[in-house]
Amino acid sequence: MIKKGFLGLLKFLFSHVLFRVRYLGLENIENAGKCVVCPNHSTIFDPFWVYFVSKDMWIMAKAELFKNKLLGTLLRAYNVFPIKRGQKDAGSLIHAINVIEKEDNAKLLVFIEGTRIKKDKERGRAKVGPAFIASKACVPIIPVHITKNPRLFSKVVVIFGKPIDIPQGIHDKKEELQKESNMILDKIYELDDKKAQ
């Protein structure tokens, strides 16, 4: 009850007070079942806005956040688990796949660019982790575009795109994984273009 109440407070604060958040394409994630959710990333609020849409959301986050034991305990209570950036973290990838396979309707949130993209950069480079996980776990990827670098008290639009099926059996083929990952990143930013049309 406390956990649910705290989450409700954060949702009200981040989605209605500090920002005015509007969701588009929610049916794409609601009907997806198990999946990997891939948004662009420019602000510390991005994970919250995506997390709020489903009670089955899990988040893969940078390991540095877990150095503080109290914060680490709190994050784990809300289905967040660590991954070491800039290196191969096989343990976290295996854990991510296990979460998808064992949890009902699990939706795994992974930022495909790996880190927040600064204002002076249009976009980052696609990491292969999400495509690897989706291929290995045999689940689709949901591309998501979030308004980049919004100011406090401004409108934020979160757009969920249609599921993207990742070919099975490419998890050990680096070139194919990178090709699929580049395509996913393109789809994410194309969602913003569609919004403007």
Residue 184 CB neighbour total at 10 angstroms: 23
User: pLDDT-based confidence at 117, cuts 50/70/90?
Assistant: very high
In this prediction, residue 86 has a pLDDT band, given cuts at 50, 70 and 90, of low
The conformation of residue 164, written as its DSSP 8-state character, comes to B
Q: Where are the domains of the chain?
A: 2-196
Tell how strand 107-109 and strand 80-83 pair up: unpaired
Tell me how far the alpha carbon of residue 170 is from its chain's centroid: 21
CATH 3.40.50.1970, domain 2-196, yes or no: no
Q: What pLDDT score does 194 carry?
A: 59
Q: Where does residue 15 fall: left (phi above 0), alpha (psi -120 to 50 degrees), or beta otherwise?
A: alpha
pLDDT above 60: residue 160: yes
Q: In what order do the strands lie in the sheet with 155-160?
A: 20-24, 155-160, 141-146, 35-39, 107-109, 57-62, 80-83
Secondary structure letter of residue 64 according to DSSP: G
The pTM (predicted TM-score) of the whole model is 0.92
pLDDT at 64 over 80: yes
